Amino acid sequence: MRSKSKPPDSSKNTLAWYTPPIWLGMTLSGWLRMLAYNRFSVDPRHIPWAVLITLTAFLGVPFNILHDLRWGGRIRRTEIEQPPLFVIGHWRSGTTWLHELLTLDESHTYPNTYQCFLPSRFLLTEHFDTHSLGFIFDAMLPKKRPFDNVEVGWTRPQEDEFALCNLGIPSPYQKIAFPRRDPCPEYFDLSGIEPERLRKWEDAFVRFLKQLTLRDPRRIVLKSPTHTFRIKTLLNLFPDAKFVHIVRDPYVTFYSTLRMWKSLYEATGLQRAGDTDDLEPYVFRNFIHMHERLDEARPLLGASRFHELRYEDLVRDPVGQMGALYGQLQLGDMERIIPNLERYLSGSADYKTNSYEIAPASREKIRQQWGHIIDRYGY
């Protein structure tokens, strides 16, 4: 299956040889478990990164201990009083953009990149690292994501699945590090794991959210495509949680997702992706699996706790679509965020998404796999 796409500015984003892997923030125990689970299958050219990750994880142990001594009791006593708001949807469907729009509301907070990079100790180290050592940390990040030119930064909203990874919790995102394997697929929807493993996942997730709440008690807005698979588990933890699901043209989503995984494998993987013939079936399979789990969860959600919108409609009329979202989920008067929203939209007016020219045969193959979902959303 082939398509033509207009790539991002490669002069700024083809930086895989020095872009630091997200795994640099892992706990030592989590890093060693991930290595062991994946049979230490680090390719020779990535061994220097593996050594550096091991060293930084080892050096981080005393800071993690000090963090727990200083903050552990307060974290345990913290209550998450505001039910979280989850942005869900398939990868490359607009979840990042919607997440950023929702964080313009001053009654909301969110996990940022630093907190997801170092979730084991950010209460202790974030201020010092991002201020006193800000110039060093800024040099560690590329200016934009390698697959879509979206700006990145330590204080920008980030996907909390990366925090779980760096806490050493099993995650299907381990595939980013080991693309020739398919680690932890059961952690997409969590339905098939043993009760003890599920409890550990829940405890780690809730503890991370308590840390965020301790830093800022406002409603937490979370975004991760993986949460689309897990709504039932999330409702067990937060019965009053709210969800907003964004969808995008599945034909574009398919090719954009392929591009994303390939870029992440290259930028932060610890082994070469090699033959990626299995990537297309992986994307086809996860898309269907995600919508199956979403459909199972829909009856559990009342009208004021679930809203659905299309990416294309959000692009066409962001103010109107955000107004409908706020009304459906009863998030309060949206008028208070319009000035922030207008400034944000003005500042990002020049952003261009990647475009894809999809051959008729390729479109037919996608329709054969996802036709019922394509028809449901009017594509």
> What are 88's strand-pairing partners?
245
- DSSP single-letter state for residue 151: B
Sheet holding 242-247, edge to edge: 108-109, 219-223, 85-88, 242-247, 306-310
* Residue 356: predicted pLDDT: 75
Cα–Cα distance, 261 to 284 (Å, whole number): 13
Q: What is the CA radius of gyration of the chain?
A: 20
* Residue 176: predicted pLDDT: 95
Instruction: Give the phi and the psi of residue 356 in degrees, each rounded to 5.
Output: -135, 130
Q: Domain locations in the chain?
A: 11-376
Question: 220: helix, coil or strand?
Answer: strand
Is domain 11-376 given the CATH code 3.40.50.300 in the classification? yes
* Residue 352: predicted pLDDT: 66
From first to last of the 379 residues of the chain, give the pLDDT tens digit: 444 444 333 333 344 444 567 899 999 999 999 999 999 999 999 999 999 999 999 999 999 999 999 999 999 999 999 999 999 999 999 999 999 999 999 999 999 999 999 999 999 999 887 765 555 556 666 666 666 666 777 889 999 999 999 999 999 999 999 999 989 999 999 998 999 999 999 999 999 999 999 999 999 999 999 999 999 999 999 999 999 999 999 999 999 999 999 999 988 899 988 665 689 999 999 999 999 999 999 999 999 999 999 999 999 999 999 999 999 999 999 998 999 999 999 887 666 676 778 889 999 999 999 999 999 999 9
Enter the pTM of the model.
Answer: 0.91
Cβ contact 148:353 at 8 Å: yes
The sign of the CA dihedral 314, 319, 322, 328 is: negative
Structure tokens at 85: 């708001």
> What are 112's strand-pairing partners?
157
- DSSP single-letter state for residue 211: H
Closest residue by Cα to residue 161 from 86, 219, 257, 98: 86
Cα–Cα distance, 342 to 346 (Å, whole number): 6
Ramachandran category for residue 372: left, alpha or beta (phi over 0 → left; psi -120 to 50 → alpha):
alpha
Q: Is 187 exposed, middle or buried (0-12, 13-18, 19+ CB in 10 A)?
A: buried
Residue 66's CB: how many other CB atoms inside 10 A? 13
Cα–Cα distance, 34 to 175 (Å, whole number): 10
* Residue 2: predicted pLDDT: 40
β-strands 3-5, 356-358: how paired? antiparallel
